[in-house]
């Protein structure tokens, strides 16, 4: 019981520290659970750090990171060094590749408000395939309490070097080169608080092999607030070119090994507009998928669609209705889920802040948890979204049935919905108007809104 109590405390510390919004670096660590620092000079800090870098999940349990860190704030540059060993709490503790890993990082930053950053990292980590669509508190709480994990995962082992330029206006441009080995990961019987006898959903097999990746990324954030923005832009645009020898598992259990060269782009633009002191109209456009070359690896195809892209879109709900990112036959059991190679998504949101006098007892000082302040500000939300997914590779013409071609290689969906956002927690319901047979979808989001 004592061990479970410690694990529970670390889980909630990690969940409360996790940021809202898209996860840009899925191997990065968050705020520390335990920080044993020694001050070497005014701007020089070193010490040992114990932290959890990700949410609780069905593949790793809760990954624990421990190791030395060093930061030196010099006159013209900032130097950051860290060397973390990773212990994955799923299953019994064994010193093998399934249970341990590492992340070594070095970064040199020139300039405060504008300048350049150069960095390198070596890693052996387990990464969510679609981290940009769901916040870590959402995924971690669902996995910990209900054994429902919305992420899929794959192993990454290798190294990356990158350089970026940043401006005072909130823009960052980054280029990077990576040499990585990708591998499938199986689900584990990890500890959970409730419903311990239930089974985890299987983690899908992905394409294994060695890949060389070159990528460019542009980010712009002029929002007034990361958690509760009422004006500004958020833009994420990236292009990735990968070359490697990959092994794909076929339906019969055999493997196909082939050399692949692919291009993949992703574009997410969001605009926040306050039209009165209590009202907002916000918009979002997402375009992503294959952009030339061979068929996308499964790691990259799965990341095109997933929960969070559309408020009413229920991820991995095979055989019930139309999923924009699925592009696979709902009549075939145990299919791979979201396998589109391209998607286009649009969302429009109206927000109206309600009277909050009843909540003033909370609003005066807020609720402070580890440096984060949550204020209860009830806001009514109404939204409209629409999306479409495509298969564009050789598989697009393979779905043939006696009644004709299966239409799953181009799926479409439109939702209308409403909800109540309390700041820390949002409660929503959405109904697909593109299909009258689909039931309404009820869902809860934690510290997250587009």
Give the integer Cα–Cα distance in Å for 127 and 72: 29
Helix, strand or coil, per DSSP, at residue 361: helix
Residue found under tokens 């564009």? 392
**What per-residue confidence (pLDDT) applies to 129?**
82
User: For residue 421, what are its two tokens?
Assistant: 């956002």
Domains of the chain are 89-446 (2.40.160)
Q: Give Cα separations from 27 to 36, 215, 268, 359 (angstroms).
A: 22, 16, 21, 38
**What per-residue confidence (pLDDT) applies to 116?**
96
CB 348 within 8 A of CB 281: yes
Q: What is the chain's alpha carbon radius of gyration, rounded to the nearest angstrom? A: 22
pLDDT per residue rounded down to tens, the chain (450 residues): 433 433 443 344 344 343 333 333 433 333 334 445 444 555 688 899 988 767 788 888 888 899 999 999 988 899 999 999 999 887 666 677 788 999 999 999 999 889 999 999 999 999 888 765 666 766 777 777 777 777 778 999 999 999 999 999 999 999 999 999 999 998 877 776 665 555 677 787 889 999 999 999 999 999 998 878 899 999 999 999 999 999 988 767 788 899 999 999 989 899 999 999 999 999 999 898 899 899 888 888 877 655 455 655 554 444 444 456 666 544 444 444 556 788 888 999 999 988 754 554 444 454 444 444 555 678 999 999 888 877 776 655 544 433 334 444 556 778 899 999 887 788 888 888 877 777 787 877 776 666
**What per-residue confidence (pLDDT) applies to 401?**
37
């Amino acid at each position: 019981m004592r061990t479970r109590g410690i694990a529970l405390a670390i889980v909630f510390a990690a969940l409360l520290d996790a940021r809202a919004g898209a996860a840009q670096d899925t191997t990065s660590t968050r705020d520390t659970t335990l920080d044993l620092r020694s001050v070497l000079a005014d701007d020089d800090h070193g010490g040992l750090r114990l932290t959890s870098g990700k949410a609780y999940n069905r593949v790793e349990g809760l990954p624990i990171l421990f190791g030395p860190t060093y930061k030196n704030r010099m006159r013209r540059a900032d130097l950051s060094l860290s060397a973390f060993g990773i212990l994955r709490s799923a299953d019994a503790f064994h010193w093998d590749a399934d249970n341990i890993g590492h992340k070594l990082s070095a970064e040199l930053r020139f300039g405060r408000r504008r300048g350049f950053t150069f960095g390198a990292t070596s890693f052996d980590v387990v990464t969510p395939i679609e981290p940009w669509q769901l916040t870590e508190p959402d995924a971690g709480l669902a996995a910990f309490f209900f054994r429902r994990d919305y992420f899929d995962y794959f192993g990454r082992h290798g190294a990356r070097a990158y350089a970026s330029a940043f401006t005072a206006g909130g823009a960052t441009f980054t280029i990077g080169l990576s040499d990585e080995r990708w591998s499938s990961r199986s689900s584990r019987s990890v500890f959970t608080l409730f419903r311990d006898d239930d089974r985890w959903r299987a983690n899908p097999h992905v394409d294994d092999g060695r890949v060389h990746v070159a990528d460019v990324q542009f980010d712009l954030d002029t929002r007034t607030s990361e958690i509760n923005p009422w004006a500004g832009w958020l833009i994420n645009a990236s292009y990735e070119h990968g070359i490697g020898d990959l092994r794909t598992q076929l339906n019969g259990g055999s493997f196909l090994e082939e050399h692949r060269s692919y291009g993949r782009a992703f574009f997410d633009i969001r605009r926040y507009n306050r039209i009165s002191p209590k009202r907002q109209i916000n918009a979002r456009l997402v375009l992503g998928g294959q952009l030339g070359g061979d068929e996308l690896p499964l790691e990259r195809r799965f990341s095109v669609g997933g929960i969070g892209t559309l408020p009413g879109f229920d991820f991995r709900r095979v055989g019930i209705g139309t999923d924009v990112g699925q592009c696979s036959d709902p009549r075939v059991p145990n299919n791979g889920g979201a396998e589109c190679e391209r998607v286009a998504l649009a969302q429009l949101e109206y927000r109206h802040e309600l009277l909050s006098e009843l909540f003033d007892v909370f609003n005066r000082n807020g609720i402070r948890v580890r440096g984060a302040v949550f204020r209860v500000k009830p806001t009514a939300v109404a939204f409209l979204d629409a999306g479409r997914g495509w298969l564009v590779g050789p598989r697009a013409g393979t779905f043939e049935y006696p009644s004709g071609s299966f239409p799953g290689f181009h799926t479409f969906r439109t939702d209308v919905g409403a909800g109540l956002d309390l700041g820390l927690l949002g409660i929503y319901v959405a109904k697909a108007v593109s299909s009258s047979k689909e039931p309404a979808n009820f869902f809860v989001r934690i510290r997250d809104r587009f």
